[in-house]
A = this chain, B = another copy of it.
């Protein structure tokens, strides 16, 4: 399960396996846990661009926090499913980024034609000072990397 860099214009993609911890008594992935999957994909997408969040925070540069999330749950995922979770920069401002994300089913448990979109999201993340948590401008080197 290796994170895949975009080729031919496709979005960044992270494989995510559904474990017992992700499911609930309904037999499906609990709705909040897609936000965990989306966060993992954003982190790996940033890492693939050379942006290490722990280092940024420890160096006092600040951190990203989520400002707004919109999620549309289309079909449920289940235990043992293998998901492909994507992250694509939709818009970049001075103080926030909008990231479009999807969770797609890619599981050996499912007929090939059943693969498809489970969940889509638009997540807006803002930059804050790590100590005061006040909104701040995204550091220029990060914006430059993102806009390449």
Tell me the A residues contacting B by CB distance below 8 Å.
1-3, 17, 19-21, 23-28, 30-33, 35-36, 39-40, 43-44, 47, 52-55, 57, 63, 65-73, 76, 78-80, 109, 130, 133
Contact = CB atoms under 8 A, between A and B. Distances in A.
| A interface: dominant SS | mixed
A66 B20 CA distance: 12
Given A1-B2, A21-B36, A53-B79, A28 B71 contact: no
A121 to B, nearest CB: 9
- How many copies of this chain? 4
13 contacts: A17-B44, A26-B63, A26-B65, A28-B133, A31-B35, A31-B39, A32-B33, A52-B80, A53-B80, A57-B79, A65-B73, A69-B69, A76-B133
A69 B67 contact: no
Given A71-B68, A71-B69, A24 B25 contact: yes
Nearest to A21: B36
A19 B40 contact: yes
Contacts of A66: 31, 73
Given A32-B35, A32-B39, A24 B26 contact: no
A76 B67 CA distance: 10
A20 B53 CA distance: 10
A14 to B, nearest CB: 10
